Chains A and B, each alone.
Chain A
Amino acid sequence: MSEQPILQVQSVSKRFGGVHALENVSMDLYPGEVLALAGDNGAGKSTLIKIISGVHHPDEGKIWYNGAEATFENPQKAREQGIETIYQDLALADNLDVGANVFLGREPMRRVLGLSVLDRKKMRVEAAEALRVLDIRIHRFDLPLRSMSGGQRQAVAIGRAIHWKAKVLIMDEPTAALGVPEQRKVIALIKSLKQSGVGVIFISHNLVDIFAVSDRIVVLRRGQKVGETATQATNSDEIVRWMVGG
């Protein structure tokens, strides 16, 4: 883990009408670290990641990214600079193949007889490379994603983020819709992400997953940060107490 945090959230507050969705929340994320964000429904997890990814703007407080103060107008701007969010529904086009999904919206072209055509081979080769880095096995790169398993699809979403050089990866309940073997697969994926130096913010309801994968845990309750600890130094009882406020 390097010394300099890749992302810093400084005293961020956000109100929707009279509701304090977030109050004075601060946290740091280091490269190659998995930070788990825990909390009950309505604790402010979603608001926090939406502020980091450029969907919402903080009413008070600052976000520092890569050593500079960051104000992302929209998620597109945040993504261009390397903050990628993988939502639960993965945002994949199930009717297209792996290469097409990794390069969706940024397709490489090549020239054939003066005409500009999609460079399918480049897409396939580079998508395969991105997945190889993550140690994913996909046998056929020419088939639509709908023919793939949940874990493989998750891998494609992560592979896309890796290929586009994400420095911060926000994963919102990545294991929620998966069967047990697939969940393990995703946990393994996140571990290999760490090795490539990406900072991961991991949101989950599942304490087993949180303990399996994270380095640090931040717990939110009613918009406030109520606890932060190294994962090794705590146990699920303590996290649950923080979450429910016992």
Chain B
Amino acid sequence: MSQPPTANGKPETANRLDELVSERTTWAGSVRSTAASMRAWIFLFFLLVGFEIWAQLAYHTTFLFNPFNASSIAVFTVGPLLLALGQTFVVISGGIDLSVGFTMGLAAVVFSRILNLSTGVLPDPLALVVALVVALLASAVPGLINGLLIAILRVPPFIGTLGMYGVARGIAYLMAGGTTVPISNPVVSFIGNQPLTLLSIGDFHGSIPIIVLITILLTVAMMFMLSQSRFGRHVYAIGGNRQASLRAGINVSRNTIALYILSALSAGIGGILYTARFTAGAPQAGETLLLDSIAAVVIGGASLFGGSGTITGTVIGALIIAVIQYGLVFVNVEPFWQFVAVGVVIIISVLVDQTQKQLSGARTDE
């Protein structure tokens, strides 16, 4: 039987107990959410310090305080980050997109092909616009199919996008004729390889590679979309509790399709920037980047079970991967060790995340 109610209509012990419960769980909850984002920052910090010490001891040179290194790391980050931006949305929704690497390749090849067809016929900048639009449309197709498979036919994301990985790969190679497609549009190669001087004071020139600038702008846009828009909020809700989202009247199917298209478009932009940087479109442009994109998202604190993750985390995750890759080159380690290092880092971050959940995520009513 319930106790006699107090002045506010509630049993007294329930009130007191509730406060106790709430304080204990509050502490655990905040520790967990802060820890996920702090972990990535701390890891990046130690990574930079580690490479600095390595460079100092082995080669008596600096790794950190070298503008060329900073700029190179930024350029190294572009590829993994662009794939990881869309991947972040997908992972937060509780899915995964394995097709991004070859969607990137497909976009790169389509972009090069269309650019070569239109350059000469149209003025250079206009040719770029045409190629850009067609390549983005082409890259949206695998995303749309992924979305339809997963949202309407209820194919598990892992399987649906793995199938699309094969399809996009094959079509990209077919369209490229099995080789790379060089381009010769001066506007595109300028965008791909020139820095933009933002600030000039005397001898100091603050400049930034154009592709890095484009990536920063896209990152800010995606950050806004995820954290400030209804769509972003619904992505979190779907990843947290799909059933609850349905009952709350959220159009889960439409949102799911939209986020796989977003992932494909973000990979497509990656393919276009790749083509601009190397002045050639290659079907295998994103082959090694699938692992990197998932790594960036996971290292950035997103849970592969869905419901959590941030763009900021993903940016740090992508930076960590770029620092590992560039740093190992800088200290003269055989390049194949990069794959080993990134793979190990993924596994470690998932393990740390699981351990932390077990330590602090337990609810008191269970």
Interface residues of A (CB under 8 A from B): 75-76, 79, 87, 89-96, 100, 104-107, 109, 115-118, 135, 137-140, 143-144, 146-152, 177-179, 181-182, 184-185, 187-188, 191-192, 195, 208, 211-213
Point out which of A95, A182, A195 has the most chain B C-beta atoms below 10 A from its C-beta: A95
29 A-B pairs, CB-CB below 8 angstroms?
Answer: A75-B247, A91-B243, A91-B247, A92-B244, A93-B245, A93-B307, A95-B236, A95-B241, A96-B236, A100-B233, A104-B250, A106-B249, A107-B233, A115-B224, A118-B229, A135-B9, A144-B29, A146-B29, A148-B22, A151-B18, A151-B365, A184-B3, A184-B11, A184-B14, A185-B10, A188-B9, A191-B5, A191-B9, A212-B2
> 1/0 per position for B152-195, CB-CB distance to A under 8 A?
00000000000000000000000000000000000000000000
Choose among A100, A105, A107, A178 the residue that contacts B365 (Cβ–Cβ < 8 A).
Answer: A178
Complex-state Cα separation, A185 to B224, whole angstroms: 39
Given contacts A152-B18, A192-B9, contact A104 B244 (CB under 8 A): yes
Choose among A106, A144, A150, A188 the residue that contacts B11 (Cβ–Cβ < 8 A).
Answer: A188
Query: How many Å from the CB of A240 to the closest CB on chain B?
Result: 17
Q: Which residues on B sit within 8 Å (CB–CB) of A144?
A: 29, 33
Query: How many Å from the CB of B357 to the closest CB on chain A?
Result: 10
Choose among B9, B28, B224, B236 the residue that contacts A93 (Cβ–Cβ < 8 A).
Answer: B236
Q: Which residues on B sit within 8 Å (CB–CB) of A148?
A: 22, 25, 363
Q: Which residues on B sit within 8 Å (CB–CB) of A181?
A: 13-14, 17-18
Choose among B26, B234, B244 the residue that contacts A143 (Cβ–Cβ < 8 A).
Answer: B26
Query: How many Å from the CB of A52 to the closest CB on chain B?
Result: 16
Complex-state Cα separation, A109 to B233, whole angstroms: 12
Size of the B side of the interface (Cβ < 8 Å), in residues, is 49
Complex-state Cα separation, A231 to B120, whole angstroms: 87
Interface residues of B (CB under 8 A from A): 1-3, 5, 8-11, 13-15, 17-19, 21-23, 25-26, 28-30, 32-33, 224, 227-230, 233-234, 236-237, 239-241, 243-245, 247-250, 307-308, 361, 363-365
Complex-state Cα separation, A107 to B227, whole angstroms: 13
Complex-state Cα separation, A139 to B25, whole angstroms: 11
Choose among B1, B5, B28 the residue that contacts A147 (Cβ–Cβ < 8 A).
Answer: B28
Choose among A76, A87, A149, A187 the residue that contacts B249 (Cβ–Cβ < 8 A).
Answer: A76
Q: A91 and B18: CB pair below 8 A?
A: no
Choose among A76, A147, A185 the residue that contacts B26 (Cβ–Cβ < 8 A).
Answer: A147
Query: How many Å from the CB of A124 to the closest CB on chain B?
Result: 14
Q: A137 and B19: CB pair below 8 A?
A: yes
Q: B25 and A147: CB pair below 8 A?
A: yes
Chain B minimum-CB-distance residue to A188? B10
Chain B minimum-CB-distance residue to A93? B240
Q: Which residues on B sit within 8 Å (CB–CB) of A76?
A: 249
Given contacts A117-B229, A148-B22, A187-B2, contact A91 B29 (CB under 8 A): no
Query: How many Å from the CB of A96 to the closest CB on chain B?
Result: 6
Q: B26 and A95: CB pair below 8 A?
A: no
Choose among B2, B241, B244 the residue that contacts A188 (Cβ–Cβ < 8 A).
Answer: B2
Q: A139 and B2: CB pair below 8 A?
A: no
Point out which of B30, B32, B230, B245 has the most chain A C-beta atoms below 10 A from its C-beta: B230
Q: Which residues on A sit within 8 Å (CB–CB) of B364?
A: 149
Q: B244 and A185: CB pair below 8 A?
A: no
Chain B minimum-CB-distance residue to A149? B21
Q: B307 and A95: CB pair below 8 A?
A: yes
Q: Which residues on A sit within 8 Å (CB–CB) of B363?
A: 146-150
Point out which of B5, B229, B234, B237 has the most chain A C-beta atoms below 10 A from its C-beta: B237
Q: Which residues on B sit within 8 Å (CB–CB) of A87?
A: 247
Q: Which residues on B sit within 8 Å (CB–CB) of A178?
A: 365
Q: Which residues on A sit within 8 Å (CB–CB) of B23?
A: 139
Query: How many Å from the CB of B14 to the closest CB on chain A?
Result: 4
Q: Which residues on B sit within 8 Å (CB–CB) of A187?
A: 2
Query: How many Å from the CB of B61 to the closest CB on chain A?
Result: 45
Q: Which residues on B sit within 8 Å (CB–CB) of A137?
A: 15, 18-19, 22
Q: Which residues on A sit within 8 Å (CB–CB) of B239?
A: 95
Point out which of B13, B15, B32, B239 has the most chain A C-beta atoms below 10 A from its C-beta: B15
Given contacts A91-B247, A181-B13, contact A143 B30 (CB under 8 A): yes
Complex-state Cα separation, A127 to B26, whole angstroms: 18
Q: Which residues on B sit within 8 Å (CB–CB) of A96?
A: 233, 236-237, 240
Choose among A75, A95, A177 the residue that contacts B240 (Cβ–Cβ < 8 A).
Answer: A95
Chain B minimum-CB-distance residue to A117? B228
Q: Which residues on A sit within 8 Å (CB–CB) of B243?
A: 89, 91
Query: How many Å from the CB of A121 to the closest CB on chain B?
Result: 13
Chain B minimum-CB-distance residue to A75? B247
Q: B22 and A104: CB pair below 8 A?
A: no
